Each structure stands twice: as C-alpha cells, then as structure tokens.
Amino acid sequence: MPSSSAVLDTIPAANARYWRAVVRLTLVLLALWAVLGLGCGVLFADVLNGVQLGGFPLGFWFAQQGAIVGFVLLVLVYVLAMRRLDRVHRDDLARIEAASPLPAGPTGGAR
C-alpha cells in the first residue's frame, strides 16, 4: 500500500496532467480558429476565390458563413474533448483516493 505522502504527491500530479491537457486542447483549438477565421477568410481568400460554390467565390463563403460554422464545430469539439478529459481526470482521482490509506472525511468519504 502506498504511503500517504506518495498519494498526496499523486493528486497534484493528476491535477497537473489534467490542466496541461486542457491548456493544450485550448491552444490547438484557438490556433485552428485563427487559421479558419483569418487564414481562410482573409489571407487565403484569393486562392479560395478560384473555386465557385453556388455561384459565389469560395473565399466569400469562408468569410461569411464558413468561419461561423467552423467556430460552432470547434466549440462542439471542445465540449466533447473536455467531457472526455473530465471523465479521465475523475477516474484518476477516484483511483488515487481508493488507494489512499487516509481515513475518510466527516461525511464518510462522500463529496
């Protein structure tokens, strides 16, 4: 059975892993949003305008609707990824607490 100091060191490590994953996810999605909104709508508009969609240049679609749709999709990806990260973190904390030799709190271990 691990010592109480080993368990206490594991909880901050699990929290640090969780927050590193959250920050990494957020930065990746922000970068994708910048590329989609600024890159496709402004910087790459001339290249995209060579393709027609519904009689309008593709650059126009990205600037008008594509960036908004892309943003909504990125929010959906964020929600799904955070649900997964939260579940993994919750499972890690439950595993750590189950291995803990520390006595249960005043509520009998319930939180």
- Give mean pLDDT, residues 78-82: 98
Domain range list for the chain: 4-99
What 3-state class would DSSP assign to 105? Answer: coil
Structure tokens at 15: 């929290």
pLDDT at 3: 53
User: pLDDT digits over 81-104, tens only?
Assistant: 999 999 999 999 999 988 877 665
What amino acid is encoded at 23 in this protein? V
What 3-state class would DSSP assign to 53? Answer: strand
Phi, psi of 39 (to 5 degrees): -65, -55
